[in-house]
Amino acid sequence: MTPFAADHAGARIRPSPNHGPRKNGLRPEIIVLHYTGMATGQAAEDWLCDPRSEVSSHYLVHEDGGIVQMVPETERAWHAGRSSWMGETDINSQSIGVEIVNPGHGLGYRRFPRRQIAAVIDLCRGIAERWNIAPARVLGHSDVAPGRKVDPGELFPWAQLHRAGIGHFVAPARHRTGSVLSDGDAGPAVDGLRSMLADYGYGVAREGACDAPLKAAISAFQQHFRPSKVDGVADRGTVETLRRLAAALPPPRVG
């Protein structure tokens, strides 16, 4: 494995063989945040550097705030898998992946330590500055792979990152009893919700019934932006939060 210089000051280098060139001229425009979902940080680090795993990320952030870089930012790490955002399906080629040590939902999911989150903020700030990545392009793995992935999960402090200038966020609307849409519903109301999710970036069709893929996208949206209740139901609070986010997006960049 060829050694390389750290892109982030203070990061420890441990090269992973699991990477390659970015494809089709794509460059980093997204930061994807994951949790490791393994029993220990060391086990996760070893796995991301094991050629048998065929997975990697650019960075790993340990619970004590220590940062390990495994793939140069110019290269394509293998972290997102089958995923999409804003119509782009090769997320690995247009993103930088950050794994955050946490056992995940299957092994005792817990809150992320303050030192770890401070390190994530510092790391993401540097990445965003180097590649001119917009706040709305700092995403969770669940955002780009709804229904397949749930990390970094509802305990991840997206609001804290937003206050530090990382990520797009608004105060979520309060959950209110009763759903706007139910399983099997179809028509303008469902298509309107689908279009709002698709306009924001989620990989959902703009037309169709209220089905399992739509509910998966709603759950992913709730995990990130309305984590007090994650159930895949398009209640009034979820829809209002989505409208607030869309309204708060900056105008598209020109040139």
DSSP 167: S
Return the SS3 of 223: helix
DSSP 91: G
What is the C-alpha to C-alpha distance for residues 1 and 56, in angstroms, rounded to an integer?
A: 14
Domains and CATH numbers, the chain: 12-163 (3.40.80.10), 188-248 (1.10.101)
Single pTM value for the model: 0.95
Question: Which backbone phi and psi does 206 adopt, to 5 degrees?
Answer: -80, -15
Residue in 45, 99, 129, 207 annotated catalytic: 99
Residue 132 has pLDDT above 90, yes or no: yes
* Cis peptide preceding 188, ω within 30 of 0: no
What is the C-alpha to C-alpha distance for residues 57 and 34, in angstroms, rounded to an integer?
A: 9
What is the C-alpha to C-alpha distance for residues 162 and 130, in angstroms, rounded to an integer?
A: 18
pLDDT, the chain, mean: 94
Return the SS3 of 189: helix
What is the C-alpha to C-alpha distance for residues 151 and 101, in angstroms, rounded to an integer?
A: 11
101-115, 159-173, 179-193 — which is least confidently predicted? 179-193
What is the C-alpha to C-alpha distance for residues 230 and 194, in angstroms, rounded to an integer?
A: 18
73 is catalytic: no
158, exposed or middle or buried, with CB in 10 Å at 0-12, 13-18, 19+? buried
Residue closest to 36 by CA, chosen among 17, 16, 61: 61
Confidence at 180, pLDDT banded by 50, 70, 90: confident
* Helix ranges restricted to H, 132-174: 141-144, 158-163
Confidence at 253, pLDDT banded by 50, 70, 90: low
Confidence at 72, pLDDT banded by 50, 70, 90: very high
What is the C-alpha to C-alpha distance for residues 166 and 13, in angstroms, rounded to an integer?
A: 24
Residue 207 has pLDDT above 70, yes or no: yes
Give the pLDDT confidence score for residue 19 in this predicted structure. 97
Question: Which backbone phi and psi does 174 adopt, to 5 degrees?
Answer: -65, 140
pLDDT in tens, 214-237: 999 999 999 999 999 999 998 889
Q: Tokens 């092994």 sit at which residue?
A: 107
CA–centroid distance for 210 within its chain: 24
Return the SS3 of 46: helix
Give the pLDDT confidence score for residue 176 in this predicted structure. 67
Asked if residues 78 and 18 have their Cβ atoms less than 8 Å apart, the reply is: yes
Element (H, E) at 124: helix 114-131
Mean pLDDT of 61-90: 97
What is the C-alpha to C-alpha distance for residues 75 and 22, in angstroms, rounded to an integer?
A: 6
